[in-house]
Structure 1
Amino acid sequence: MTLAPEVTNPVQLAASTAGPQKRDTLYLNFNDGGIGQLGSQADASDFTIDADHHLMTDALYVGADDTTPNNELLEAFVSPPAYSTWLSDPSNHLALQDRKFCLTSSNTIQVVEPDYPDCAVPITFIAVRVQTTSTTTTATSTTFTTATTTAEVTTTTTAAPTTTVAPTTTTAEPTTTTSADPSGDLDTDGPTPTPVRRGIQYGGRKYYHHRRH
């Protein structure tokens, strides 16, 4: 392992236990007064690594003191403790320089020397991306469509009564024209018509005009 590079995007530390016994994945958190312990991912703390290879959480330095060797717990400090330099490998495993971790019965992490023989459950940490839950809110636009019903206007055209006037047919009575035949039955020897004299009196004189019948 080599010195851990700077990591500015937050990560979480998943614990991996050695041995055949399969366990649920637990994550490191510092929710109990700055003492590191394992719990669910929902309780996991977020971590970064600064340029000096310090593992940071909430501006605190993660590491261990050296007051009581093999009996220190992994804690978060205001300033870098004696053991505060972290290492990593290409698989994103993280380790505290010159120390190893043991899981206690209370799920806290004991920090011991690499050759410590009484470590019941050795553990290592793997940096994983923070799982963010993205809540997408979809705005539903309900368009109320007003249905306009246009009544079809039916125009009924009532035909005016048609009065048929029969043409007046005037039938002229046949006129019988009798041509006088000068050589017919007329009596040419009859008397010649005598003019009728009618008089109109103007003043003291009487005038006559002749009218033939």
Structure 2
Amino acid sequence: MITEIFAECVTRAPGALAVVCAGEQVSYAELDARANRLAHALLARGIGAGARVGVCLPRGVEPVVALLGVLKAGAAAVPLDPEYPLERLEFMVADSGIAAVLTDASTAPLMHRVGAPMLLEMTDTIGQPATDPAVPVFAQSTAYVFYTSGSTGRPKGVVLPHEGFVRVVRDPNFGVRASDVVSQLSTLSFDAGALEVWGALLNGAALAVSVERVLSVEELGVLFVFMV
């Protein structure tokens, strides 16, 4: 599934560029190790298969590490955009039944305000092993819980399994190759953002993360110029 195919990409090209953002460059091997440490930190707190874990982090490399680490622990990710209104975040936290939320120093106070059950900062992974926790993940295992906009009423949680993403991004018609660079511009709280992430990382490509939501043509050029 997502974790299994990612592991194949790591084995095939461990030194290949996986994620880049604002000057930080992370290889497939490094991303794998960082996500493994997070998975072990979650498992040590009893958060594993079947659990739901919120991810509330500013745009950058860390959310990608967080998403992969949650999946490696056998849990499902519930992306929580820190720019969402407080009321929406409160509803998502309560409705999704999350066991914990992954935060950093900038988003932890926000999650305290919305009543998150447990906060785990990304720095809490220090000292954890970098080895794969080898938690079984199946085709129908839940990978994500996304919430609709709620424009016609209350937001609704949509549960998506691993196989749903794999079927799309590994389809030859998806067209992403290992030599490609995929931009991550969408909010991770929508499925389009997840397709950007896994469209790159399950095909051995590089993911270029923008810290801004909307970029001009010139800014897009700056984002990718280092790749040329």
What's the TM-score, normalizing by structure 2? 0.23
Higher helix share: 2
- Greater RCO structure (CA 8 Å; 6+ sep): 2
Q: State which structure, 1 or 2, has the greater radius of gyration over its C-alpha atoms.
A: 1
- Give the TM-score, by structure 1 length: 0.24
Specify which structure has the higher proportion of strand: 1
